[in-house]
Amino acid sequence: MLAAACLTPLADAVAEEIWVVTDHQHPVSTVPGARVIYLDAPARLKRELSASLPHDRTRAEAMAKERLRQGGAELHQRLASAYQGVTDAWMLGVTKIPAVIVDRRYVVYGEADVRRAAALIQEYRRTHP
């Protein structure tokens, strides 16, 4: 979708919606206001909630429920956000990571520097109005 282009500073860009899709194995340098979606967030939360559960199913279930209760609204928000992010990335058709998406329309794959990826998109948009 994007051709090779000269890089321009993100600060010159018009306000854009920027999403970054990655996982914890592929760190990125992001920009303020960008939404970062970690595809491995649901699995990491599941591991956190199931850590050190007993082998006895009844006790494990009771402990897991207690962890969910103790986590309260903050934990429920983290779970909802993690799964919503994965759903949003899937709906946009993200196929590789890291992916930098601008305005849910333009994507650069494989660039861990969000400023650089956004500049590539900006340049593409400038030369392909």
19-45 tens-digit pLDDT: 999 999 999 999 999 999 999 999 999
* Spatial CA neighbour of 13 closest among 105, 115, 100: 115
Query: Confidence class of residue 4 from pLDDT cuts 50, 70 and 90?
Result: very low
In this prediction, residue 31 carries a pLDDT of: 93
Describe the strand order of the beta sheet including 99-102 as a list of residue ranges: 35-38, 18-22, 99-102, 106-109
Is 129's pLDDT higher than 80? yes
Q: What is the Cα–Cα distance from 23 to 27, expressed in whole angstroms?
A: 7
